[in-house]
C-alpha cells in the first residue's frame, strides 16, 4: 500500500503474509534513494580499482612483466600513438586471433606514447609504460614488437608489424609450449 500524506509518503512493505513494515519517508529522500543505491552498487569502489564479479578488487593502473613471469607470455607492441600506421596494421593482424592468444597464455600489451596504453584491454598507467620503454630501450617515436616468454626472456623482436600466425608458430615451437600441448592432449 502506498499513500501520500502531507508531502510525505508512507511506504508499506509486505513480506509474504508474515510481516508488514510501514515507515514514513520525505519525498526528496524518495527521489534521491535510487541514485544512492546505484552509487553504492556501482562496480567502481575506489579510484583505480574495479570490483570483479567475484568481489576481488583488480588494480588496473599498473603493469609489470615480473607479475606475468611463469604465468603468461607477453606480446609488447610499442608505438607513438594509435594513429601510427605500423601500429594500426599490427592491430589488424592480431584482431581475428584472440582465441589463439588465450590458448597460448599470451597477454597483449599496447604501449603508446600518446593516449592510453593497455594490457589485455585494461588501461595501464604512464609509469608502467615508461618503465617498459626504458627496459626495452624503445624511443617515444619508435614502433617495436617484443615477444616475452613465460621465463621472462625476450623470444622475438620486430621493428615492423608481424603476422599473428608467425608469433603463434614461434610460441608453439618453444619447449614449454610443447609440454603444454602434450598436457592438454592427455586430458
**Grid coordinates standing for 124?**
595501464
Confidence of residue 15 (pLDDT cuts 50, 70, 90): very low
**Grid coordinates standing for 131?**
618503465
Residue 46 gets which letter from DSSP? B
Confidence of residue 98 (pLDDT cuts 50, 70, 90): confident
Q: Which of 62, 33, 61, 57 is nearest to 44 (CA)?
A: 57
Q: 148 near 76, Cβ under 8 Å?
A: yes
Predicted pLDDT of residue 26:
56
| Distance, CA of 121 to CA of 107 (rounded, Å) | 10
| Distance, CA of 150 to CA of 144 (rounded, Å) | 19
Q: 72 near 107, Cβ under 8 Å?
A: yes
Predicted pLDDT of residue 27:
53
| Distance, CA of 181 to CA of 104 (rounded, Å) | 9
Residue 51 has pLDDT above 50, yes or no: no
Confidence of residue 187 (pLDDT cuts 50, 70, 90): confident
Can you tell me the mean pLDDT for 40-57?
33
Residue 24 has pLDDT above 60, yes or no: no
Mean pLDDT of the chain: 78
Confidence of residue 56 (pLDDT cuts 50, 70, 90): very low
Residue 164 has pLDDT above 80, yes or no: yes
pTM of the predicted model over 0.85: no
CATH code of the domain made up of 65-185: 3.40.30.10
Residue 67 gets which letter from DSSP? G
Predicted pLDDT of residue 2:
41
How big, in percent rounded to 5, are the helix, strand and coil portions of the chain? 35, 30, 35
Domain positions in the chain are: 2-59, 65-185
| Distance, CA of 43 to CA of 66 (rounded, Å) | 28
| Vertex 136 angle, CA 117 and 173, to 5° | 95
Q: Of 145 and 48, which is predicted with more confidence?
A: 145
Helices then strands, counting H and E runs in the chain, come out as 6, 11
Between helices 164-172 and 175-185, what is the axis angle to 10°?
A: 80
Predicted pLDDT of residue 186:
79
Backbone angles phi, psi at 165, to 5 degrees: -65, -30
Q: 70 near 144, Cβ under 8 Å?
A: no
Amino acid at each position: 500500500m502506498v499513500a501520500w500524506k502531507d508531502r510525505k509518503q508512507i511506504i508499506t512493505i509486505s513480506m509474504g503474509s508474515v510481516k508488514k513494515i510501514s515507515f514514513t519517508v520525505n519525498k526528496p529522500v524518495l527521489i534521491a534513494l535510487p541514485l544512492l543505491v546505484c552509487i553504492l552498487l556501482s562496480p567502481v569502489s575506489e579510484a583505480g580499482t574495479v570490483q570483479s564479479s567475484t568481489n576481488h578488487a583488480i588494480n588496473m593502473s599498473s603493469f609489470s612483466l615480473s607479475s606475468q613471469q611463469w604465468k603468461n607470455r607477453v606480446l609488447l607492441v610499442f608505438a607513438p600513438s594509435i594513429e601510427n600506421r605500423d601500429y594500426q596494421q599490427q592491430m589488424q593482424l592480431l584482431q581475428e586471433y584472440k582465441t589463439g592468444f588465450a590458448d597460448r597464455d599470451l597477454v597483449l600489451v599496447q604501449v603508446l606514447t600518446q593516449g592510453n596504453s593497455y594490457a589485455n584491454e585494461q588501461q595501464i598507467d604512464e609509469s608502467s609504460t615508461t618503465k617498459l620503454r626504458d627496459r626495452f630501450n624503445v624511443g617515444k617515436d619508435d614502433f617495436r614488437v617484443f615477444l616475452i616468454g613465460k621465463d621472462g626472456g625476450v623470444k622475438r623482436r620486430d621493428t615492423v608489424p608481424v603476422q599473428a600466425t608467425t608469433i603463434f608458430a614461434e610460441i608453439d615451437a618453444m619447449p614449454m609450449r610443447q609440454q603444454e600441448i602434450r598436457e592438454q592432449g592427455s586430458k
